[in-house]
Structure 1
Amino acid sequence: MSLGYKNNINAAMTAVSNIFIDEYMETANGEYVKVYLYLLRHEGENMEIPDIADTLNHTESDVRRALAYWERAGVLAPERELMEEAENSGAKSAENLQNAGATSRLGKMNEQKSGTAVPMDEWSSQNVPSMEKTAIPDAGNSYDRMKRLSADEEFSALLYAVQQYLGKTFSTIECEKFAYFYDVLHMSCELLEYLAEYCAEGGHTSIRYIEKVALNWYQAGIHTQDEAREHSMKYSKDTSAVMKAFGIMGRNAGTAEQEFMRRWFKEFDFDSAIVTEACNRTLTTTGSASFPYADKILTGWKENGVRTLQDVEILDKRRQEKQKKSAGTPKQNRNTSGNRFNNFEQRSYNYDNYVWADIRKREKS
């Protein structure tokens, strides 16, 4: 190290390719470089975009733009691992499920001038099922908006109030986000103050979480504090039911988990009884609180027109009858009225030849 300085940090190190430094770093945005270095440091670990955004004080959109930039540059390459359809309840087998879903790892750069890269998995937060949502207005020019709103006394009072609720001084990005909620999404000061209060009470003060809630309210058509309070109470009740069914205690639902639950309760319009039944079946089958597995079950029920638990029972019976027909009933080639298997109820289980041979052997004895 030159310029009269020496490196005082000589602990565990992260190697950065010279190709990256010489060919890519010079022309890249400094924030994009930070994202790449963070990924490089955590290569092989499971990460999500919200975690990176929190650590680097970026928005999730900033992180996605950085990933898209490095993908276009050839430094990173996305690879989506699709989950297979399962045989029962629209879910996949537990063994496959445990290996499914996208995790995050950094694609290693090929040490060639071409700058090619080996694939990197998609982020788990991007692997949440896609849903039709109300279009979110574009943020536009944040600088011009902030310049215009600097003379707005109502907005200035709003910023002061929400910072008091959240117990922190806003960064430029956080101010711009609330300007977007106020000026573009046309949320009232009363609603935005309640937004800050609601998030703070739940222990969530990061702007990415606040933005997530704000956009959720916008898409739900919420315009007043009373509507937001009613919406939040119902959501909290449903969320608690799912977390309890999965045996998850001592933490709040993660971003991807919240998105799954939004899908089940809002898009599918299922009540908590149906959703918790899917959670119970997930635990029974997989032994773990797998939201993707439960989603496969609920998607299958939605596609089959399920609205009540009685509908689930009917669907189960239909599936069992179908399985019996496909498996077939073993033929009886002799009179068994005098043996001890007289009242044996023939089922459609798919026994292999060894098992059937063993049964016949015991019949003759």
Structure 2
Amino acid sequence: MICSFRTEVTLVANEFIDSYMAAANGEYVKVYLYLLRHQQDNVDVERIADDLNHTEADVRRALAYWERMGALISDREEKTVQEKLPAQEQNLTGKEAARELTNEKDGQERIDRLAEDEDFTQLLYIAQKYMNKIFTSRECQVFAYLYDELHMPAELLEYLVEYCVQSGHTSIRYIETVGLNWHEKGLRTVEEARVYAGSFTKSSFAVMRCFGLTDRKPGDGEKQMIEKWLSGYGFSLEVVLEACNRTMAAIHSPSFRYADKILEEWKKAGVRTVRDIELLDEKHQTRKDRRTVKKASNQFHNFQQRDTDYDAMVLDQVKSWIGTESVR
């Protein structure tokens, strides 16, 4: 379903007429137009069948046809899209209120107001071309929010769609969250977005190389952790790679969870640079030496001193967290 710019009329996109209508059964077109008219209403198959004098089986066949064509998204598919959204993108911003975009009424009012905005209407046209579908009201509202409320330039949003589609993601939820992430990072131009996307990709593969995982791309959960290390924790790639190196030295196998615990401890300790890590190591060694001297000089000091190596300490923490048998 497409979004209507005026509540008193039902607009049909030229894309539907040019690319979808001619090949469709006439009864299917009637169902589609009915849904356009009632896109803000809760309608069921029984009501559609009654109003159009169809059988319920006819209506279901029409709905299935338009879903296959990509012109409609069922409630079932919307739920599936949300469940399959990579965790990396689910947690980029942490601002649930922003994701809700304001209520339905405000969203539709914004759409109506932008109907005469040539840049916005061109943006929707290009985005629908990229995604090979006709937008629902919800999808139009997402772009309207990013464009009008967050003042993201139309050309940046066009690149956002291109970037997501080329990455294999056409969910509006995914596009929305990436857009919010770019806004939070202050990206205002296509060039800035290209640089950011390129730097993240290079950093991801640098981590994979450090772990010896050169035969595949990082998975969604792994991308999420890398994003958290670089953006959430604010570490440089150099610091992240140091944590990866220590992971390999400690357990002799790649483990994102183990590296994550190291970086989490470094963040708590205020580490920002590799030099900070060296200073932390020196302090740890000094404390270790003092405990050794005290233990040797005090003959009445019979209880066992704690003398845990830093990497071993982190390993114990990881084991207690995820289980001794699954430190991977």
TM-score, normalization by structure 2: 0.54
1:139 is the counterpart of 2:101: yes
Match of 1:204 in 2: 169
Question: 1:134 touches 1:219 (CA, 8 Å); kept in 2?
Answer: no
Match for residue 216 of structure 2 among 238, 247, 250: 250
Match for residue 77 of structure 2 among 56, 59, 64: 56
Instruction: Give the Å deviation of 1:242.
Output: 2.2
Question: 2:127 touches 2:161 (CA, 8 Å); kept in 1?
Answer: yes
1:313 is the counterpart of 2:282: no
Instruction: Give the Å deviation of 1:55.
Output: 7.0
1:236 is the counterpart of 2:201: yes
Question: 1:191 touches 1:224 (CA, 8 Å); kept in 2?
Answer: yes
* Residues 289 and 146 of structure 1: CA distance in aligned 2, closer, same or farther (over 3 Å): farther
Instruction: Give the Å deviation of 1:194.
Output: 0.9
Instruction: Give the Å deviation of 1:155.
Output: 1.9
Match of 1:42 in 2: none
Distance 2:75 2:260 in 1: 27
Unaligned runs of 5+ in 2: 1-41, 44-73, 300-305, 309-328
1:226 is the counterpart of 2:187: no
Match of 2:29 in 1: none
Question: 2:207 touches 2:244 (CA, 8 Å); kept in 1?
Answer: yes
Instruction: Give the Å deviation of 1:139.
Output: 1.6
Distance 2:169 2:275 in 1: 38
Match for residue 119 of structure 2 among 154, 158, 177: 154
> What is the total number of aligned residue pairs between the two structures?
223
Distance 2:91 2:159 in 1: 30
* Residues 289 and 171 of structure 1: CA distance in aligned 2, closer, same or farther (over 3 Å): farther
* Residues 164 and 247 of structure 1: CA distance in aligned 2, closer, same or farther (over 3 Å): farther
Deviates further, 145-154 or 199-208: 145-154
* Residues 144 and 134 of structure 1: CA distance in aligned 2, closer, same or farther (over 3 Å): closer
Kindly report structure 1 stretches of 4+ aligned residues shifted beyond 6 Å: 128-135
1:175 is the counterpart of 2:140: yes
Instruction: Give the Å deviation of 1:230.
Output: 2.1
Q: What SS is found at the alignment partner of 1:301?
A: helix
**AA of the residue aligned to 1:228:** A
1:164 is the counterpart of 2:185: no
Instruction: Give the Å deviation of 1:195.
Output: 0.8
**AA of the residue aligned to 1:201:** Q
* Residues 136 and 243 of structure 1: CA distance in aligned 2, closer, same or farther (over 3 Å): farther
Instruction: Give the Å deviation of 1:218.
Output: 0.6
Aligned CA-pair RMSD:
4.1
Distance 2:264 2:251 in 1: 17
Please identify which structure carries the higher helix content: 2
**AA of the residue aligned to 1:281:** R
**AA of the residue aligned to 2:237:** S
Instruction: Give the Å deviation of 1:197.
Output: 1.6
Deviates further, 242-251 or 183-192: 242-251
Q: What SS is found at the alignment partner of 1:57?
A: helix
